[in-house]
């Protein structure tokens, strides 16, 4: 990410008020912040709870928080107090976007509901709420974390092995997928506003996003009426698409068409496999995947995995080693793609969005709690006396309450 182009980010001039905590919302707003949006992270007196989700920690903040909150400024406000609500309203005066993931109905309890207050007060404001299940319906209002939604939305049922049984996907992709969907929704709403001049309410739920990400299992079921089963490392629709052991470690091979399968067979010195009636087309290979797996495992067990992957890639056959995190972050391609971002003490994944004219920028590491409270308040017209009084009254919070 290029710091010198930070003022020219694709979202430069967009102001985002981020009331979210934990993962999905902060992940979305970090994407916006990486690309030039001004993001003000409004934290409750206790702070974003993932500041405590460690170890590891850096100066009191957990890696979980650090990985989601760069390029933002933090202010602590007690929204339970009327004057705290008034402060938020002033911060919202020039905002384009507000994100929140409180329990549904909480903003209304604060007197800050979209329909009741914000829509009329700020007609151009785009308001995004992220919740577990939405405000209504059979599960409306209930809380939801990533793993719980994975379970409820069917992800466990198609992930794992016959030995493990239904298993959580290790990466919190429901939360992150919801963050990505929410970012897309924000950009859509900004584009629509450029034509209509009006903001709108966006109702995002972890549950909806989890269901939408069930591909291809949901599509398979809806067409075949067969309940999808756990496939381990294999793909339910494609073969070979699996992990294979070699003498130097496991590798993964994915053949999406007959040409790639022929290339695999040629590299393994067994071109005749491509003409075997059991393996001629993907449908045949899928029907006979156990036999195919046995043949391929035997052919690869004495191969050097790294060398085999190189030869397969030279044949345009997708293949790669099963790397750990250390190997990923030390790989020269990670550096080449600017995916190892560093600034002062901070280190994280770079932005995967690569613009030619307006690249993303790493401008600042994740903020300490409330560190920008005074400057944000001053920028919104509050005097030093006002600020000191509100700190004394516990409306403006500079140090996390325990």
Query: Which residues are known catalytic residues?
Result: 175
CB atoms within 10 A of CB 143: 11
Q: Which of 180, 205, 99 is nearest to 352 (CA)?
A: 180
Token code pair at residue 137: 């319906």
138: nearest Cα among 191, 205, 73, 213: 205
CB neighbour class for 240 (10 Å; exposed up to 12, middle 13-18, buried from 19): buried
**Could you tell me which of 145, 79, 72, 74 has the C-alpha nearest to residue 113?**
79
Spell out the residues 6+ positions from residue 359 whose beta carbon is closer than 8 angstroms to its own: 1, 2, 5, 9
- Map the chain to HEC letters: CCHHHHHHCCCCCCEEEECCCCCHHHHHHHHHHHCCCEEEEEECCCCCHHHHCCCCEECCEEHHHHCCCCCEEEEEECCCCHHHHHHHHHHHHHCCEEEECCCCCHHHHCCCCHHHHHHHHCCCCEEEEEECCCCCCCCCCCCCCHHHHHHHCCCHHHCCCCCCCCCCCCCCHHHHHHHHHHHHHHHHHHHHHHHHCCCCEEEEEHHHHHHHCCCCHHHHHHHHCCCCCCCCCCCCCCCCEEEEEECCEEEEEECCCHHHHHHHHHHCCCHHHHHCCCCCCHHHHHHCHHHHHHHHHHHHCCCCHHHHHHHHHHCCCCEEECCCHHHHHHCHHHHHCCCEEEECCEEEECCCCCCCCCCCCCCCCCCCCCCCHHHHHHHCCCCHHHHHHHHHCCCEECCCCC
């Amino acid at each position: 990410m290029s710091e010198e182009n930070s003022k020219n980010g694709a979202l430069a001039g967009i102001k985002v008020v981020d009331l979210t905590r934990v993962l999905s919302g902060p992940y979305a707003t970090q994407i916006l912040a990486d690309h030039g949006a001004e993001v003000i992270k409004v934290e409750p007196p206790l702070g974003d709870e993932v500041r405590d989700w460690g170890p590891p920690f850096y100066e009191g903040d957990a890696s979980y928080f650090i990985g989601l909150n760069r390029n933002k400024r933090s202010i602590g406000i007690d929204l339970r107090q009327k004057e705290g609500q008034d402060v938020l309203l002033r911060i919202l005066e020039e905002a384009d976007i507000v994100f929140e993931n409180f329990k549904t109905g909480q903003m209304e309890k604060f007197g800050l509901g979209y329909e009741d207050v914000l829509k009329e007060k700020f007609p151009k404001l785009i308001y995004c709420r992220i919740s577990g299940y939405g405000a209504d319906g059979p599960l409306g209002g209930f809380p939801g974390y990533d793993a719980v939604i994975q379970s409820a939305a069917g992800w466990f049922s198609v992930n794992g092995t016959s030995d493990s049984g239904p298993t959580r996907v290790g990466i919190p992709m429901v939360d992150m997928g919801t963050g990505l969907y929410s970012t897309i929704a924000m950009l859509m709403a900004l584009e629509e506003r450029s034509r209509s001049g009006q903001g709108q309410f966006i109702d995002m739920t972890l549950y909806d996003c989890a269901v939408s990400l069930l591909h291809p299992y949901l599509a398979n079921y809806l067409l075949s009426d067969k309940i999808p089963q756990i496939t381990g490392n294999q793909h339910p629709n494609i073969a070979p698409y699996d992990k294979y052991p070699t003498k130097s470690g496991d590798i993964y091979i994915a053949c999406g068409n007959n040409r790639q399968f022929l290339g695999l067979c040629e590299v393994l010195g067994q071109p005749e496999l491509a003409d075997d009636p059991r393996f001629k087309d993907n449908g045949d290979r899928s029907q006979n995947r156990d036999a195919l797996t046995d043949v391929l495992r035997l052919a690869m067990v004495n191969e050097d995995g790294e060398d085999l992957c190189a030869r397969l890639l030279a044949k345009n056959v997708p293949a790669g080693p099963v790397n750990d995190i250390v190997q990923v972050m030390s790989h020269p391609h990670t550096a080449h793609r600017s995916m190892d971002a560093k600034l002062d003490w901070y280190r994280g994944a770079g932005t995967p969005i690569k613009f030619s004219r307006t690249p993303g920028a790493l401008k600042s590491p994740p903020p300490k709690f409330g560190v920008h409270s005074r400057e944000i308040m001053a920028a919104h017209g509050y005097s030093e006396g006002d600020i000191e009084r509100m700190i004394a009254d516990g409306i403006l919070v500079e140090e996390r309450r325990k």
